[in-house]
């Protein structure tokens, strides 16, 4: 298997440009690296995105992802050709919530500054408690407890919450608390989320860039007022939902790239989120 560096540099000039761009991002976010390809740190890439397919989990009131074949086969000119079309709602699968989702007049998904979508990340693991309580709310105490072990979360950090629920994907009943669909199913949703008090604490005291979670919503399943969404949206903090593979990241040291589909005027959209864990970190 090729190393990260071998895979990218094999792309020639384009690969070198990619390396330089990544090196600049790493430098900006505090990683001591140069701009030459040979100086790019080796590391592990982790895909934090669930596949989009007929199994992708959406909110009970939402329409699921659909992929349809436009053409597949040999053309009348004698060459093979394949093309598909898809239909999807903004909020489903691994996706981003732009601030306008819950705050009138705030940023749409195409207006989110790239700096908000890239940067150093910390992973707060509450899975031991959350797996015992499907209505668990991540608290200020969870965050400060993490800091006692790992140090204060610096400003400009992307905070990712590992509740352990990612292991249930794509089993809707286990992941959401119900596999029913439609408005009547919403009352039966049970999964952990970020408590409103903790959301406000992160915004006020740690100036975080974004917050992500491995459940269907940054608010817990039984939320009626979506207070956490509203707090984050009011303060221009994007939310990443249905994030995958958080158990593969360290508590700190990873660099995250979270790039959504750039939907003009969108309240959110499908998100391709990845992380680089440098070997030296």
Average pLDDT estimate for 173-186: 97
Share of the chain above pLDDT 70, in %: 85
- CA nearest neighbour of 99 among 110, 87, 85: 110
Superfamily of domain 47-63+90-278: Putative cyclase (3.50.30.50)
Find the mean pLDDT for residues 212-217: 98
Q: Report phi then psi at 37, rounded to 5.
A: -55, -35
CA distance 217 to 95: 10
**Contact call for residues 248 and 281 (beta carbons, < 8 A):** no
Tell me if 139 sits within 8 A of 197, measured CB to CB: yes
Q: Are 109 and 260 in contact (CB under 8 A)?
A: yes
State the Rg of the chain over Cα.
20
Tens digits of per-residue pLDDT, 121-147?
999 999 999 999 999 999 999 999 999
Q: Is 272 helix (H, G, I), strand (E, B) or coil?
A: strand
The pLDDT tens digits for 219-275 are 999 999 999 999 999 999 999 999 999 999 999 999 999 999 999 999 999 999 999
pLDDT, tens digit (0-9, with 9 covering 90-100), for 67-102: 999 999 999 999 999 999 999 999 999 999 999 999
Q: Which residue has the higher pLDDT, 56 or 41?
A: 56
Q: How far apart are the first and last CA of the chain?
A: 22
Whether residue 198 has pLDDT greater than 80: yes
Q: How far apart are CA 44 and CA 56, in angstroms?
A: 26
Segment among 21-35, 185-199, 220-234 with least mean pLDDT: 21-35
Which residues have C-beta within 8 Å of that of residue 76, sequence separation ≥ 6?
none
User: Is residue 29 annotated as a catalytic residue, yes or no?
Assistant: no
The CA distance from 120 to 246, in Å, is 14
Identity of the highest mean pLDDT range in 2-11, 37-46, 96-105: 96-105
Percent of the chain with pLDDT over 90: 84
114 is written with which tokens? 């790239």
63-68: list long-range contacts, CB under 8 Å, 24+ apart.
Answer: 63/87, 63/89, 64/92, 65/92, 65/93
Find the catalytic residue in 50, 95, 101, 229: 101
**DSSP 8-state class, residue 202:** I
Cβ contact 152:203 at 8 Å: no
User: CB-based burial of residue 213 (10 Å sphere; 0-12 exposed, 13-18 middle, 19+ buried)?
Assistant: buried
Residue 187: band (very low, low, confident or very high) from pLDDT cuts 50, 70, 90: very high
pLDDT of residue 8: 37
Does residue 161 register a pLDDT over 60?
Answer: yes
Taking the mean position of all CA atoms in its chain, how far away is CA 72? 32
pLDDT tops 70 at residue 12: no
CA distance 208 to 226: 19
CA–CA dist 276, 281 (Å, integer)? 10
39 vs 34: CA distance, rounded Å: 6
**In the chain, what are the domain boundaries?**
4-41, 47-63+90-278
Please check whether residue 100 is in contact with residue 233, taking contact to mean a CB–CB distance below 8 angstroms.
yes
pLDDT at residue 279, as a whole number: 85
Does the structure show a pLDDT above 50 at 184?
yes
| pLDDT on residue 42 | 79
């Amino acid at each position: 298997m090729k190393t990260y560096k071998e895979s990218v540099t094999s792309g020639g000039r384009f690969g070198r440009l990619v390396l330089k761009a990544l090196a600049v991002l790493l430098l900006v976010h505090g990683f001591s690296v140069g701009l030459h390809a040979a100086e790019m740190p080796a590391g592990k890439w982790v895909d934090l995105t669930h596949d989009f397919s007929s199994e992708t989990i959406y909110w009970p009131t939402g329409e699921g992802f659909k992929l349809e074949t436009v053409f597949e086969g040999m053309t009348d000119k004698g060459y093979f050709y394949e093309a598909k079309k898809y239909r999807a709602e903004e909020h489903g699968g691994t996706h981003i919530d732009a601030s306008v989702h819950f705050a009138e007049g705030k940023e749409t998904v195409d207006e989110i500054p790239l700096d908000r979508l890239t940067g150093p990340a910390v992973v707060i693991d509450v899975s031991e408690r959350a797996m015992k309580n499907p209505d668990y709310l991540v608290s200020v105490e969870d965050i400060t407890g993490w800091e006692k072990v790992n140090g204060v979360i610096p400003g400009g950090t992307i905070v990712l919450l590992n509740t352990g629920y990612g292991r249930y994907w794509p089993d809707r009943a286990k992941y959401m608390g119900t596999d029913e669909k439609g408005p009547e199913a919403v009352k039966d949703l049970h999964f952990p989320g970020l408590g409103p008090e903790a959301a406000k604490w992160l915004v006020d005291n740690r100036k975080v860039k974004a917050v992500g979670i491995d459940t269907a919503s940054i608010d817990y399943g039984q939320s009626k007022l979506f207070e956490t969404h509203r707090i984050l949206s009011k303060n221009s903090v994007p939310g990443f939902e249905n994030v995958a593979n958080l158990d593969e990241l360290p508590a700190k040291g990873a660099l995250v790239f979270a790039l959504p589909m750039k939907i003009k005027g969108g309240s959110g959209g499908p998100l391709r989120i990845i992380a680089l864990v440098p070997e030296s970190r």
